[in-house]
Amino acid sequence: MFDNSLKAYEAAKKVIPGGVDSPVRAFKGVLGTPPFIDRGEGAYLFDIDDNKYLDFVQSWGPLIFGHCDKDIEDAVIKTAKKGLSFGAPTLLETQLAQEIVEMYDYLDKVRFVSSGTEAVMSAIRLARGVTKKDDILKFEGCYHGHSDSLLVQAGSGLATFGTPSSPGVPADLIKHTLICEYNNIQSLKKCFEESSDIACIIIEPIAGNMGFIPASEEFLQECRDLCDKNNALLIFDEVMTGFRVSMTGASGLTSVNADIITFGKVIGAGMPVGAFAGSSFIMDHLSPDGTVYQAGTLSGNPVAMAAGLVSLQKLKSMPSIHAELNKKALRLVEGLKKAADANNIPFVVNTRGSMFGFFFCEKEPKNFKDVASCDFDAFAKFHNEMLKKGFYFACSQYEAGFISSVMDNKMIDECIDAAKIIMKDLKNA
């Protein structure tokens, strides 16, 4: 069933560290072997063994319209025929930036980069340059890319100066990174009591990297208030949620406005791209207008801009799409929960727009510590068995799932029917 993928994985490990170019792809979180993908078509993936999977990963978010959407594909091909990269301005950059800022009352300018990691790294540098402060505050379990300052793990206590979570990251380099517990206001306040040099708070308003956990409105408001009181900037990391959970991302589901928003995923429609945006006052601190330096040879790549432009224009032309996608997401997770409940398996679910998450536990997790207490063995078994039946979920309990517009109720019901069988087997295991 996976013979070719097994051979491909062994060959890859000889020339690529771990056989993959991003660690989660190694399937270690689910004790399996990654299927090597040959192609995507609509809602489905096909691997090199020609197994077919209903895809709930969607390239980790950007493919709202599924694989090989004709409009996006045509735009990419047309643009690529003019040249893959110029290292010079194109009209597409301006057009995509205009599409983004038109959606927000408080965003005026956008700087495009090549990845979400780069977007967040640049946004933090900008916040430090604007506030003339050094410390940054992040939350345990929120992933903002692999830049050194953000590869930090929490120490003991409610709030702490972090320690490196990876070899190769000097402890001295991350001494300005403070770690708080997500959705914990006491922890948040304690960080500001410990440091008067906080330049910014960086937060996923809906965390998608410790499973799927939304921040409470009260918590986001406290972030906003503390930033205002302490001359700090609030950065929303919407690399995953931007244009996914609503037309204006997680920002559209809260009354709290961020000073800077980082984007990725959807604005490239599957192409490598990222961006960060803010008011003119903030963004004008960037070089060449200001003194905060940021650059990228392939930033604003025309092929990526073309893909993202068509994707956003399609979303704008379909004002009810996020509500429709949420109905499908609810249908899926409610069906999964009924299957678990019928077998007395602890299981909780959540959705926002076209994103969803589920955990094998009694109580809905609110932070990273809660997630760590979930049943990871049950998740791994469920994932493996669903994969064998042709359903491709994120290969880690720490990742969210995604619905695409090309999925229909019949596909979702087939997934639920498979889950009913597997949940019964889990009960008897």
Tokens of 239: 């690399």
- Collapse the DSSP code of 285 into the 3-class scheme (helix H, G, I; strand E, B; otherwise coil) and give the result: coil
Please name the helix (run of DSSP H) or strand (run of DSSP E) that holds residue 160, with its range, or none: strand 160-161
The amino acid sitting at 52 is K
Q: How far apart are CA 385 and CA 408, in angstroms?
A: 22
237 is catalytic: yes
Which candidate, 191, 177, 240, 198, places its Cα nearest to that of 402?
240
265 is catalytic: yes
Kindly report the backbone phi and psi dihedral angles of residue 116, in degrees, each rounded to the nearest multiple of 5, phi listed first. -65, -40
Cα(40)–Cα(263) distance, rounded to whole angstroms? 24
One of 109, 133, 138, 265 is an active-site residue; which one?
A: 265
Residue type, 183: N
Euclidean distance between CA atoms 415 and 403, whole angstroms: 13
Catalytic pick among 9, 53, 104, 143: 143
Question: Which helix H or strand E contains 180, and what residues bound it?
Answer: strand 177-180
CA pair distance 7, 2, nearest whole angstrom: 9
What is the C-alpha to C-alpha distance for residues 177 and 175, in angstroms, rounded to an integer?
6
Q: 104 — phi, psi (to 5°)?
A: -120, 140
Give, as one character, the DSSP assignment of residue 237.
Answer: E
Separation of alpha carbons 205 and 215, rounded Å = 5
Instruction: In whole angstroms, give the CA distance from residue 165 to residue 134.
Output: 20
Beta strands in 307-426 (DSSP E): 348-352, 355-359, 391-392, 401-402
Helix (H) or strand (E) holding 174: none
Range list of H helices, 342-399? 368-372, 376-388
Nearest residue to 267 via CA among 308, 322, 215? 308
Catalytic residue among 47, 69, 135, 237: 237
- Whole-number Cα distances in Å, 191 to 70, 134, 171: 49, 14, 19
Task: Give the residue numbers marked as catalytic.
Answer: 143, 237, 265
